[in-house]
């Protein structure tokens, strides 16, 4: 059965270690992404696609030619090869639970890791379905190998059935999405798509139409180092300066620990250095893009407050743009969302527009001019040993994408 083939694909893909590495400037940042990319390219060739390439940067690009007599918009599908560095993706041992009967799931490789219904109420909606977990020692890699498996299964089914009407379909597999570099080397002119969909979303029925807008602030603290024995009135400890700065960051507001829904935040997430100098990285996030400038100004005000308390120190803040709210660009092509909703409804499926307190490759692609909503791919608890995926939700995503191809295949090329 096709759904069994979908599961087999997913199980193969998750066992390849594609953990992104943010400690290198190489792209892709890990050898496993090359390995998985080559595997996928070989499979695309095996499905009869002639226009398959792996770029010098490890991107996988391919075309499934359309079968419509008139020109139609070119639709693209995107997923990423890498997995998050937050949890190991090495030696993933997937566990398949068929006919899930309900209740907490104790992971066999590490019984202390338990997927609890109390913390995962969506488990109540997948009773009787097939679930996939890790053994508890690694992440699963559903983010985004569920998306890869879904796209590959779409190509397999559509290429084998000429009765499915569709326009040209472009496939794009990117690298290092988890460390914010996913589309750095994507050539949109080469891709040649009019609309794109990422398969990188949560449980079935979600259509992500907004993401955070995101910047990264790097705060550099310059101190004065000297031997502690003679440090009086001479030493300026950059670590203490950084600590004072961090202590003034908002806690009851504008922090991930205290915000939800559409509320933004300032999130200090790495601190390194010593007495002479230290470096702090702070994520700036907000759905309202102009507010990022306000968050950056908040950091500057804190620096101005701290600097006089440590004579001789210097604090410099550099803000780097990362990605922008998906919704800002989707308004330019309203069919991208409307047809995705229609595809669900034609299949008798519920569809809920949702927002992501994060970002996807679709955020950057949309910002660059290619409208790219994000579709569900059946993944839950990403980046965690408690990650799990639902096979039937992945199957539903396959059906939605095929219906979307039919809808775009009926649109006129403008």
Q: Which residues are catalytic?
A: 82, 177
Q: What is the C-alpha to C-alpha distance for residues 168 and 164, in angstroms, rounded to an integer?
A: 12
**Residue 144: how many CA atoms within 13 Å on its side-chain side?**
28
Neighbour-count burial of 69, counting CB atoms closer than 10 A to its CB (0-12 exposed, 13-18 middle, 19+ buried): exposed
What region, left, alpha or beta, does residue 273 occupy, with left being phi > 0 and alpha being psi -120 to 50 degrees?
left
Check if the beta carbon of residue 115 is closer than 8 Å to that of residue 389: no
Region at 180 (left for phi over 0; alpha for psi -120 to 50; beta for the rest): left
Q: Are 378 and 129 in contact (CB under 8 A)?
A: no
Q: Is 318 exposed, middle or buried (0-12, 13-18, 19+ CB in 10 A)?
A: exposed
């Amino acid at each position: 059965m096709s759904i069994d083939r979908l599961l087999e694909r997913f199980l193969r893909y998750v066992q390849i270690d594609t953990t992104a590495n943010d400690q290198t400037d190489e792209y892709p940042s890990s050898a496993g992404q090359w390995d998985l990319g080559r595997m996928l390219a070989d499979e695309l060739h095996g499905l009869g696609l002639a226009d398959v390439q792996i770029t010098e940067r490890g991107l996988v690009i391919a075309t499934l030619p359309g079968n419509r007599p008139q020109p139609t918009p070119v639709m693209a599908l995107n997923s990423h090869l890498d997995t998050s560095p937050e949890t190991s993706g090495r030696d993933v041992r997937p566990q398949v639970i068929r006919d899930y009967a309900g209740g907490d799931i104790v992971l066999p490789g590490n019984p202390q890791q338990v997927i609890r219904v109390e913390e995962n109420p969506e488990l109540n909606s997948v009773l009787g379905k097939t679930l996939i977990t890790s053994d508890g020692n690694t992440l699963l890699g559903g983010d985004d190998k569920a998306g890869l498996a879904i796209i590959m299964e779409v190509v397999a089914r559509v290429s084998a059935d000429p009765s499915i009407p569709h326009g040209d379909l472009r496939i794009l597999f990117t690298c290092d999405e988890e460390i914010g570099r996913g589309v750095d080397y994507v050539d949109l002119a080469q891709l040649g798509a009019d609309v794109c969909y990422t398969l990188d979303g949560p449980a079935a029925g979600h259509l992500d139409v907004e993401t955070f807008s995101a910047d990264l602030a790097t705060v550099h603290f310059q101190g004065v180092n000297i031997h502690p024995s003679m440090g009086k009135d001479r030493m300026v400890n950059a670590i203490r300066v950084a600590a004072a700065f961090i202590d003034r960051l908002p806690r009851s507001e504008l922090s991930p620990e205290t915000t939800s829904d559409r509320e933004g935040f300032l999130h200090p997430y790495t601190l390194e250095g010593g007495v002479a100098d230290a470096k702090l990285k702070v994520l700036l996030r907000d759905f309202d893009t102009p507010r990022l400038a306000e968050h950056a100004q908040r950091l500057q005000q804190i620096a101005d407050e701290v600097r006089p308390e440590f004579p001789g120190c210097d604090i410099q803040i550099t803000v780097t743009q990362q990605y922008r709210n998906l919704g800002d660009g989707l308004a330019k092509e309203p069919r991208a969302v409307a047809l995705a909703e229609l595809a669900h409804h034609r299949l008798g499926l519920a569809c809920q527009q949702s927002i992501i307190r994060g970002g996807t490759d679709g955020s950057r692609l949309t910002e660059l001019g290619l409208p790219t909503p994000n579709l569900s791919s059946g993944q839950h608890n990403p980046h965690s040993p408690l990650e799990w995926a639902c096979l039937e939700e992945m199957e539903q995503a396959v059906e939605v994408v095929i219906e979307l191809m039919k809808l775009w295949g009926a649109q006129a090329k403008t």
